[in-house]
Amino acid sequence: MAYNITKLLSLVSLLLCLSFCTIGVVHARPPFACDPHNPITRGLKFCRVTVPIHVRVQDLIGRLTLQEKIRLLVNNAIAVPRLGIQGYEWWSEALHGVSNVGPGTRFGGAFPGATSFPQVITTAASFNESLWQEIGRVVSDEARAMYNGGMAGLTYWSPNVNIFRDPRWGRGQETPGEDPVLAAKYAARYVKGLQGDGAGNRLKVAACCKHYTAYDLDNWNGVNRFHFNARVSKQDLVDTYDVPFKACVVEGNVASVMCSYNQVNGKPTCADPDLLKGTIRGQWRLNGYIVSDCDSVGVLYDEQHYTRTPEEAAADAIKAGLDLDCGPFLAIHTEAAVRRGLVSQLEINWALANTMTVQMRLGMFDGEPSAHQYGNLGPRDVCTPAHQQLALEAARQGIVLLENRGRSLPLSTRRHRTVAVIGPNSDVTVTMIGNYAGVACGYTTPLQGIGRYTRTIHQAGCTDVHCNGNQLFGAAEAAARQADATVLVMGLDQSIEAEFVDRAGLLLPGHQQELVSRVARASRGPTILVLMSGGPIDVTFAKNDPRISAIIWVGYPGQAGGTAIADVLFGTTNPGGKLPMTWYPQNYVTHLPMTDMAMRADPARGYPGRTYRFYRGPVVFPFGLGLSYTTFAHNLAHGPTLVSVPLTSLKATANSTMLSKAVRVSHADCNALSPLDVHVDVKNTGSMDGTHTLLVFTSPPDGKWAASKQLVGFHKIHIAAGSEKRVRIAVHVCKHLSVVDRFGIRRIPLGEHKLQIGDLSHNVSLQTNLGEIKV
């Protein structure tokens, strides 16, 4: 009897396990195409993995009807059941973590969320290239896992690498900042992280650099992105706006580029063959596809009235080099365009070849996904402890210490046993992940983070960041009077700055400034101002208020933002971030239209110029500022002072060189030039271990064509207190000491160039084998 009861209990346990133990188990997605169990596809050449991809693509295109081809030109591509091909949604996003903004990705079931890293502007402030690539690698792990579970695609329309030109731009938060070199390095490294090592021309996921080009206005003063014609000089296009996109393609080998809504010099970017076929695919040799921003093709017809008929719009876009339409326009109007002779099937075939090649590089036509390189990734690979730790580390590295009077920070758990935590962003969650985010694994708010160190008294002060009244200020002041220290967490959120929401000005919204000043007056201990925002804020009042002890910018710090903020406040983390954009005073934008795309200052018309490269006026905080709890000293150990630039042909270059006092880069023998080695010794002269970023700027000889200084590189090093490290800086003459003239031609100015490395300055004089030309 006892045996039978034991047997019965075992059977019940087995049945319960069969019923409940499968909850959360993910069944492998069926193959997208070329299912080995499908008799339809077994003999098809495009399914044979041993055949070269270009041959497989040609075979597949040759089997499609015109109607099928046209329905594959859009993001929600149709299934082709007769060839065993499923439908596919191309639009997924992964700006700083797998996102559900696009219809290609959803959360739920075994995938309730994904690791939400800091917003890009925050991560850029780390100036840490290896961190950017590692974040990309983790995001693509989670993306592949969700694809395997049937919850996501493999084509991610990220990153956004536009230049943060105007501080009011609502989408500046999505970008790596205002400097083209910084944005370029971020772009290449994040793309490499997402796409994998590229072995065998294969892709882990397909990244996409957007929005090409000169796109940095959404909705300002009655002008929106759908109707904006960006008038851009050839000089600014080459040496500013296009720089990150070129790096994406040439250095990152990105699988896609997205064209933007706006026009550039009178032509919609998605219908401009000079930009698409000529530059992206021709000059830069894109190995991938070009996609429109969503409904851009419709916009160029419906809103911009660029063509007389919708068929002409469809034909112009395809003939310009567009391969995929995010939106229905090409699916609706391309067949009529073919019938009218406006576009040929051959041109459609070229577009399909570009998209299908990417799908094949992703392995989507290789049969059973679970049998391939990333087929083992699943729910256990999403929101892992290691991934969440990386999100925390990224937030720590992106925090920037802007002001620290009398070394008020770090706070002490012994001396500051009670901390008042005040402000509309003091206990937020979703605000910390910014836009183009997904569902985070979990959150630690600033209040919760600080509460792990000490006792807290919390008052919001304002009901939200708009802070339309001061009714709650009295309670906030009372809290500050009771505490040993006060932390004000102020700033912005997506209701103030976002896609299609550009700011009107740079000041704190509503009554936030009044709250800060009143609380600072009431506080019996140090008052710390923490700013959460994507764009810069004019906090001149706080900078000039001696009662505000320290100012910290945290961007949008991601799911672990509260922990990172607290770690910096209490000195567990020594801050090492630096501003990736200039913080301007409010009067900078008062009479400056966002629509003026010129980078260079023009005193004749009272135009101040854009970014640290061209603007010379007063700032609240400069590009590259970032303080530490320790101090660093620099010493130049070695650096050349005179360099001869070899020319490829004296006859071809003599006149050009003599007239412009500069050598065309195309006329210099760059391969014969070794990098200039500059060695700098960096010593931590303080009492705390710290991470230090050496920013390397160059300044050319005087000339109207160039910025007065330009970031050319950066080096991040960790140095223990009292220790010293030597940093080798490689300066490439053709790349780092060249400038772009008004015709868009890159030249090497001859004469004396200045290298600025931290607080050091070193001069290098360039001459040619024609002899030195004094400038």
The position carrying tokens 């509503």 is 510
The answer on 465 and 331 residing in a single domain is: no
For the cut 60, the answer to whether the pLDDT of residue 19 exceeds it is no
Task: Tell me the per-residue pLDDT of 49-95, one tens digit each, with 9 for 90 and over.
Answer: 999 999 999 999 999 999 999 999 999 999 999 999 999 999 999 99
Task: Tell me the per-residue pLDDT of 694-711, one tens digit each, with 9 for 90 and over.
Answer: 999 999 998 766 788 999
Whether cis (ω within 30° of 0) applies to the bond prior to 112 is no
Q: What is the pLDDT of residue 773?
A: 37
The answer on 413 and 334 residing in a single domain is: no
For the cut 80, the answer to whether the pLDDT of residue 675 exceeds it is yes
Instruction: Tell whether 612 is covered by a domain.
Output: no
Task: Tell me the per-residue pLDDT of 321-352, one tens digit each, with 9 for 90 and over.
Answer: 999 999 999 999 999 999 999 999 999 999 99
Catalytic residues: 293
Contact 757, 680 (CB under 8 A): yes
Contact 433, 558 (CB under 8 A): yes
Instruction: Tell whether 315 is covered by a domain.
Output: yes
The CATH number of the domain where 483 resides is what? Answer: 3.40.50.1700
Residue 434 gets the label, from left (phi > 0), alpha (psi -120 to 50) or beta, of left
Q: What is the pLDDT of residue 768?
A: 85
For the cut 90, the answer to whether the pLDDT of residue 105 exceeds it is yes
* Encoded amino acid at 188, one letter: A
Instruction: Choose among 254, 143, 201, 248: nearest CA to 363.
Output: 201
Instruction: Tell whether 140 is covered by a domain.
Output: yes
Average pLDDT over residues 624-635: 98
d(CA 244, CA 660): 27
Q: What is the pLDDT of residue 42?
A: 86
User: Residue 360, Cα to own-chain centre: how many angstroms?
Assistant: 26
The answer on 645 and 561 residing in a single domain is: no
The answer on 251 and 109 residing in a single domain is: yes
d(CA 143, CA 335): 35
For the cut 80, the answer to whether the pLDDT of residue 106 exceeds it is yes
Question: Exposure of 571 by Cβ count < 10 A (0-12 exposed, 13-18 middle, 19+ buried)?
Answer: middle
Q: What is the pLDDT of residue 708?
A: 85
For residue 261, CA distances in Å to 21, 177, 294 come to 49, 21, 8
Q: What is the pLDDT of residue 14?
A: 35
Whether cis (ω within 30° of 0) applies to the bond prior to 573 is no
For the cut 60, the answer to whether the pLDDT of residue 647 exceeds it is yes
d(CA 668, CA 746): 11
**Residues forming a β-bridge with 404:** 550
Share of the chain above pLDDT 90, in %: 91
* Neighbouring residues of 293: CB distance < 8 A, sequence distance ≥ 6: 210, 211, 258, 259, 260, 261, 270, 326
The strand ranges marked E within 91-224 are 209-212, 219-220, 223-224
The answer on 558 and 425 residing in a single domain is: yes
The answer on 286 and 148 residing in a single domain is: yes
The position carrying tokens 């989670």 is 142
d(CA 216, CA 709): 23
Is residue 24 very low, low, confident or very high in pLDDT (cuts 50, 70, 90)? very low
Share of the chain above pLDDT 70, in %: 94
Q: What is the pLDDT of residue 734?
A: 96
Instruction: Tell whether 553 is covered by a domain.
Output: yes
The position carrying tokens 């830069």 is 284
Tokens encoding 237: 């296009």
Task: Tell me the per-residue pLDDT of 481-520, one tens digit each, with 9 for 90 and over.
Answer: 999 999 999 999 999 999 999 999 999 999 999 999 999 9
Structural domain ending residue among the three candidates 555, 576, 597: 576
Contact 72, 355 (CB under 8 A): yes
Indicate the average pLDDT of the chain: 94
Q: What is the pLDDT of residue 582?
A: 98
The CATH number of the domain where 126 resides is what? Answer: 3.20.20.300
Is residue 661 very low, low, confident or very high in pLDDT (cuts 50, 70, 90)? confident
Instruction: Tell whether 421 is covered by a domain.
Output: yes
d(CA 451, CA 457): 9
Average pLDDT over residues 349-377: 96
* 698 HSE (CA, 13 A, CB side): 25
Strands lying side by side in the sheet with 267-268:
229-230, 263-264, 267-268
The answer on 463 and 325 residing in a single domain is: no
d(CA 311, CA 177): 38
Instruction: Tell whether 31 is covered by a domain.
Output: no
The position carrying tokens 């003939």 is 319
Q: What is the pLDDT of residue 750?
A: 93
The CATH number of the domain where 708 resides is what? Answer: 2.60.40.10
**Residues 629/564/162/203 CA torsion (nearest 10 deg):** 120
Whether cis (ω within 30° of 0) applies to the bond prior to 657 is no
Helix (H, G, I), strand (E, B) or coil at 721: coil
Counting the structural domains of the chain, the total is: 3
d(CA 229, CA 217): 10
Q: What are phi and psi of 37, to 5 degrees?
A: -90, 0
Report the 3 state secondary structure along 167-206.
Answer: CCCCCHHHCCCCCHHHHHHHHHHHHHHHHCCCHHHCCCCE
Instruction: Choose among 174, 63, 149, 163: nearest CA to 499.
Output: 174
The answer on 464 and 343 residing in a single domain is: no
Report the 3 state secondary structure along 299-347.
Answer: HHHHCCCCCCCHHHHHHHHHHHCCCEECCCHHHHHHHHHHHCCCCCHHH
Give the length of the chain: 775
The answer on 225 and 342 residing in a single domain is: yes
Instruction: Tell whether 316 is covered by a domain.
Output: yes
Structural domain ending residue among the three candidates 576, 592, 612: 576
Q: What is the pLDDT of residue 707?
A: 84
Radius of gyration of the chain (CA): 28
Q: Is the dihedral of CA 217, 219, 223, 225 positive or negative?
A: positive
Instruction: Tell whether 38 is covered by a domain.
Output: no
Is residue 656 very low, low, confident or very high in pLDDT (cuts 50, 70, 90)? low
Is residue 27 very low, low, confident or very high in pLDDT (cuts 50, 70, 90)? low
For the cut 90, the answer to whether the pLDDT of residue 657 exceeds it is no
Structural domain ending residue among the three candidates 367, 384, 415: 367
d(CA 112, CA 176): 28
For the cut 70, the answer to whether the pLDDT of residue 593 exceeds it is yes
The position carrying tokens 């971020």 is 186
The answer on 249 and 114 residing in a single domain is: yes
The answer on 434 and 545 residing in a single domain is: yes
Give the structural domain span for 646: 632-768
Which DSSP category does 666 fall into?
G
Tokens encoding 161: 């690498």
Task: Tell me the per-residue pLDDT of 255-311, one tens digit each, with 9 for 90 and over.
Answer: 999 999 999 999 999 999 999 999 999 999 999 999 999 999 999 999 999 999 999
Q: What is the pLDDT of residue 29?
A: 83
The answer on 416 and 358 residing in a single domain is: no
Q: What are phi and psi of 673, to 5 degrees?
A: -95, 120
Is residue 654 very low, low, confident or very high in pLDDT (cuts 50, 70, 90)? low
Task: Tell me the per-residue pLDDT of 137-195, one tens digit each, with 9 for 90 and over.
Answer: 999 999 999 999 999 999 999 999 999 999 999 999 999 999 999 999 999 999 999 99
